[in-house]
Amino acid sequence: MTTRRKFLYGAAAAAPAALAAPAIAQSTIRWRLQTYAGPALAEHVIVPAINMFNQIAGDRMQIELYFADQLVPTGELFQAMQRGTIDAVQSDDDSMASPTEVTVFGGYFPFASRYSLDVPVLFNQYGLKEIWEAEYSKVGVQHISAGSWDPCHFATKDPIHSLADLNGKRVFTFPTAGRFLSQFGVVPVTLPWEDIEVAVQTGELDGIAWSGITEDYTVGWADVTNYFLTNNISGAWIGHFFANQDRWNELPEDLKTLFRVCADQSHYYRQWWYWGGEASLRVDGTKMQLTSIPDSEWSTVEAAARVFWDEIAAESETKAKVVDIIKKYNSDMDKAGRPYRYS
């Protein structure tokens, strides 16, 4: 597996050069940005945005893009950005091991969101944006943009028809999702992103709870798993763009604005790419068989999530504030009724 990773990294090393403009002035501002995503996924979730930025910025600024674990392991992304080894990051808080009070809410905080539009509304209308900006300013990092990405489902080698079927399953997932799911017998496993497909093939993993079905097909996981569980533990991943604070402060205002616009365009692309992809692959996909846990049984998982929320809220004042916002938002959506909530 180590040899395989070295081969992949060597092949990926040429990727940043392809993104650079052919003739760049000596005075050009140069940044290095690393994403959580591997090469296949990055083609959708970050490459178009960086290409757009570089094309518009031209000689004034160019961003070199690196894929998952290419410069530093994903779990060290925050530290590398904080000390300036890399200039910017696309990731969720959880995966990059952020030391902030909001880290637990990054990625998939169980049942905090049901639909993709929940995330931007939580940030832009319910106050999460200000909390994230304040938390990251304390640790020398600029929080630039939050977006809604794909839902979190299980992709497994064996069929899942009940909660009992999850017991003992070794699953690659996010730290917080793993912490929550362990109460149902799931065994969370942490591995480099590029090793997941091989780990499923060799039996090191029984499944994956890291994405929706769109990513399963895009990155090759649908080729090594047989079943897709339609129940999800989150309706949308919370992901972000971040930058080293000093590097960000050095940028002129128009380049800051351009970066924000490109980041937001990336989030928008993902919203419709996932929303349409999740549906079409359930209907027309041929690689994975759909399975479901009955609603009457799955409701116990949703109830457990509310208990989990309270456990997290008890850990700090900031976490309690975020949980209160999530509770308020979901209560408002329930009261609003269709189409915001159906049950």
Query: CA-CA distance, 223 to 217, in Å (whole number)?
Result: 7
What confidence tens digit (pLDDT) does each residue in 271-315 have? 999 999 999 999 999 999 999 999 999 999 999 999 999 999 999
Name residues whose C-beta falls within 8 Å of residue 56's C-beta, 6 or more positions apart in sequence.
Answer: 258, 262
What's the 3-state SS for 100-150?
A: CCCHHHCECCCCCCCCCCHHHHHHHCCCHHHHHHHHHHCCCEEEEEEEECC
Residue for token pair 């929706």: 212
* Of 13-27, 185-199, 264-278, minimum mean pLDDT range: 13-27
CATH 3.40.190.170 fits 152-235+284-336, yes or no: yes
What confidence tens digit (pLDDT) does each residue in 200-244 have? 999 999 999 999 999 999 999 999 999 999 999 999 999 999 999
| Domain parsing of the chain, residue ranges | 2-149+237-278, 152-235+284-336
Residue 180 above 80 pLDDT? yes
2-149+237-278 sits in which CATH class? alpha beta
Give the pLDDT mean for 262-273.
94
Task: Tell me if domain 2-149+237-278 and domain 152-235+284-336 are identical in fold.
Answer: yes
- pLDDT for residue 23: 55
Long-range own/partner contacts, residues 340-343 (CB < 8 A, 24 or more apart): 341/114
- Mean pLDDT (the chain) is 92
Is beta strand 29-35 parallel, antiparallel or unpaired with respect to 187-189? Answer: unpaired
- pLDDT for residue 244: 98
What confidence tens digit (pLDDT) does each residue in 113-169 have? 999 999 999 999 999 999 999 999 999 999 999 999 899 999 999 999 999 999 999
Q: Report the 10 Å Cβ neighbour count for 167.
A: 11
Residue 81 above 70 pLDDT? yes
- In terms of DSSP H, where are the helices of 27-114? 39-45, 47-57, 77-82
pTM of the model: 0.89
Residue for token pair 């149902």: 184
